[in-house]
Amino acid sequence: MNDSATEGGPGAAAPGSPCGDGTRAVRAGLPEPVKHEPTLPGPVFAAHFHLPGDPTGPYTYGRDENPTWTLLERAVAELEAPGQDGVEALVFASGMAAISSVLFSQLRAGDTVVLPSDGYQVFPLVRAQLETYGIEVRTAPTGGDAQLEVLDGARLLWLETPSNPGLDVCDVRRLVEAAHAQGTLVAVDNTLATPLGQRPLELGADFAVASGTKQLTGHGDVLLGYVTGRDAEAMAAVRRWRKIVGAVPGPMEAWLAHRSIATLQLRVDRQNATALALAQALRKRPEVTGLRYPGLPDDPSHKIASQQMRRYGCVVSFTLPTRARADLFLDRLRLVDDATSFGGVRSTAERRGRWGGDAVPEGFVRFSVGAEDPEDLVADVLRALDESAD
């Protein structure tokens, strides 16, 4: 499933050489080697930098730039748009900080934005805030490219594909073409897919946005977000927003994220393969309904997903008959933590209805597949299903 691309630059393979996902992940963003220096320099903890005379140069104050961010941003840009010049990445303190940076830097009073009605559960709060600023918010589901129906005259179209938690997929190329034809910007939340599963900028989007908290870093110990884009003016506005609100990551978080990216391809391939195996096992269970995983050939999203995704993600969703059954199932799992978030090396699952922000049945379970042995994880899930039926 790995592709190849030609790219150069610090830390990359030699110019002109093919570079697959694994090679790219372990080398992304690394500086040129210097004798006696570490391959990946440690985090730079600095609120200010020596700055005699005029304030020139890349590093002046810690809210503006940091060398540790620079290396991570270079790595993210290489993953999201390998071999492409002029793509910029900016890292943030969280995924929501990254999302907010695009929305609030690109929209003004009187503008219209189209959001997914089945997207991340914080979007209702985002909608309320946007509306207080005089921005019209329209919503439509991800599936069936339904956002096209409310796109007319919008300034910004926000896509989340696959959607969280329902795992619907939209045709990014089709939506981008329609949006750009009327001058509408397009942002794609790439959190669930990761850059190894999908590259929104290559599909024509103006922004690729993601929570690095999830599978990108993969260890459940870092809050981080990022925005990538190729339009210098639009990205300057995003950078300005980050500076104004101070939504910057700590250097330790940025360094941990960069270190973790080295194993991204290994983790993604293992987790995706196990997610498919789990989904196939769940298909055989009569108490499981509404099973969704884009990698299943009979999933409603599979056809479109296979045209624009290179990997299908580590999240499987399904519904058990009742809230009580779902809660008991989660309680009986031994290898899976009952926790929110997804993408970590340790499997997690939760009954999403407990948060109240998602339009899902009471027995709906979002299951994030980790890096455990596939046989062990599938056996644990099937055992928990059996025990929860008692």
pLDDT band at 184 (very low <50, low <70, confident <90, very high): very high
The dihedral formed by the CA atoms of 251, 254, 258 and 261, expressed in degrees to the nearest 10: 160
The dihedral formed by the CA atoms of 38, 43, 44 and 45, expressed in degrees to the nearest 10: -150
Percent of the chain with pLDDT over 70: 95
Q: Which amino acid is at 9?
A: G
Rounded distance between C-alpha atoms, residue 200 and residue 41, angstroms: 30
What is the average pLDDT across 222-249?
97
The dihedral formed by the CA atoms of 268, 270, 276 and 281, expressed in degrees to the nearest 10: -150
Our CA angle for 311, 313, 314, nearest 5°, is 135
Rounded distance between C-alpha atoms, residue 69 and residue 92, angstroms: 9
What is the average pLDDT across 86-90?
97
DSSP symbol at 346? S
pLDDT band at 356 (very low <50, low <70, confident <90, very high): confident
Q: What local confidence, expressed as pLDDT, does residue 18 receive?
A: 60
What is the average pLDDT across 228-235?
97
pLDDT band at 301 (very low <50, low <70, confident <90, very high): very high
CB 114 within 8 A of CB 158: yes
What is the average pLDDT across 63-69?
96
Instruction: For tokens 């928990």, name the residue.
Output: 384
Query: What does the block give as tokens for 72?
Result: 């991570």
Pairing of strands 136-140, 156-160: unpaired
**CA quadruple 151, 157, 163, 167: dihedral positive or negative?**
positive
Chain centre distance of CA 376: 27
What are 192-219's pLDDT values in tens digits? 999 999 999 999 999 999 999 999 999 9
CB 228 within 8 A of CB 89: yes
Stated length of the chain: 390
The answer, yes or no, to whether residue 14 has pLDDT greater than 90, is no
The answer, yes or no, to whether residue 242 has pLDDT greater than 50, is yes
CB 205 within 8 A of CB 231: no
